[in-house]
Amino acid sequence: MSKALFGAAAFNEKLVNEPGSRSRLETPAAVLDLDLFEHNVALMARTCRDAGLNLRPHAKSHKCAEIARRQIAAGALGICCAKPGELLALFEGGVRDLLLSAPIASSTKIDSLARAAAAGGRIGVVVDRADLAAAYAEAARRHATTLDVLVDLDVGLKRSGVATPAEATELAKLVSGLDGLRYRGVQAYQGRVQHIDDFAARRAANREMGRLLASMLDALRAAGFQPEVVSGGGTGSHLLDGEDRLLTEIQAGSYVFMDEAYGSVDMHGRGGPEFKPALRIAVTVIGHSSLGFAITDGGSKSFALDGPPPRVFLGDEQVGRIEWCGDEFGRILPADGRGPPSIGSVVECTVPHCDPTINLHDVLHVVRGQELVALWHVEARGRAD
């Protein structure tokens, strides 16, 4: 890899292709199991293809150009980003078809997106206000380029997007009439549906969202603004999103890594191929207590803890769970009947929530079996701007 490496990753680079290197990593280190990752990427690509849906994975979950490239190579038509900084980091990393999935309110950022389009990117944006559409159009014209535009619809998340068919139609009309913009359709991200654990309840919630979306699509069609793109969906809803034929593309993100927050979501309701936990955080056991627990070198600066607690693995065996005990430290509560792992051992922990966890790491340590095989930069790490 070309960029400079610091800290643990700089030491770990020397271990690439060394047999058994996975258990000798300097830690804390984000570890990506390549077999599981490839399974996840292929499974989502196949599922969307079979359902007749396009796939535009969300990079907010991984922030890594190499992963985006692999998703595209597997059939994704482009990538979503949550923030301009995330998008620009991936653009600099060589990813060319990018959709910013949230509205913004900064002329500097609007200008930088138009500049990326002028530099060869196929840049898509969403708008939920007339002044934002006008500002994008103005920036696109200034840079002699064109931005693809989706009208952002609020289908129940209550975060961004217009909330009524009349507003959607009015905005589509405005966008269609502005030089510098290409009206492509709508975004309808139903975030509230994704983490409903029960399959039937999730399907019911998705259908309810679908009714709202259908009323907006009907109004747009009746007014002559047939959306070519209807973008939304996520890991939790992806199997349901083909049912009512409303969405044309799926924005799933977490499926590449999976996390404990998705662990309780019954993806199928009937069983079927599942996404696998491909991302783990390797930590080292640095202490034992006579009270029976072990202490590791990774706390809330290594994992985002807004999810169920990490499970701890030594090789393939689950040896306990992590309990938070500080910014830099974790407490392993050993599984029933087990003692704590020995001091110095490198254990791997599942992640409570993958998106904010990857934002804590510069580098992914990519492993195949027990061997470290590559380091991938997380280019958009820290790009919450």
Ligand X SMILES: Cc1ncc(COP(=O)(O)O)c(C=O)c1O
The contact set with ligand X (CB under 6 A) reads 58, 60-61, 80, 101, 189, 191, 194, 234-236, 251-254
Q: How far apart are the first and last CA of the chain?
A: 25
CA–CA dist 13, 1 (Å, integer): 9
Contact 261, 271 (CB under 8 A): no
Closest CA to 116 of 141, 140, 149, 132: 140
Residue 67 burial (10 A CB sphere; 0-12, 13-18, 19+): buried
Closest CA to 97 of 115, 80, 119, 75: 80
Examine residue 352 and say whether the peptide bond preceding it is cis (omega within 30 degrees of 0): no
CB of 236 to ligand X, least distance (A): 6
CB of 308 to ligand X, least distance (A): 15
CB of 318 to ligand X, least distance (A): 24
Task: Choose between 246 and 319: whose C-beta lies nearer to ligand X.
Answer: 246
CB of 247 to ligand X, least distance (A): 11
Task: Choose between 84 and 340: whose C-beta lies nearer to ligand X.
Answer: 84
Residue 263 burial (10 A CB sphere; 0-12, 13-18, 19+): middle
For the record, the structure tokens of 199 come out as 């399959």
Task: Choose between 82 and 283: whose C-beta lies nearer to ligand X.
Answer: 82
Cα dihedral 177, 179, 180, 184 in deg (nearest 10): 30
Task: Choose between 263 and 334: whose C-beta lies nearer to ligand X.
Answer: 263
Task: Choose between 258 and 322: whose C-beta lies nearer to ligand X.
Answer: 258
Closest residue to ligand X, based on beta-carbon distance: 234
Q: What are the residues whose beta carbons fall under 8 Å from the beta carbon of 307, sequence distance 6 or more?
A: 259, 260, 261, 351, 352, 353
CB of 14 to ligand X, least distance (A): 34
CA–CA dist 236, 11 (Å, integer): 37
Contact 11, 373 (CB under 8 A): no
CB of 100 to ligand X, least distance (A): 10
3-state secondary structure of 277: coil
CA–CA dist 186, 213 (Å, integer): 10
CB of 183 to ligand X, least distance (A): 19
Task: Choose between 312 and 358: whose C-beta lies nearer to ligand X.
Answer: 358
CB of 113 to ligand X, least distance (A): 17
Contact 63, 86 (CB under 8 A): yes
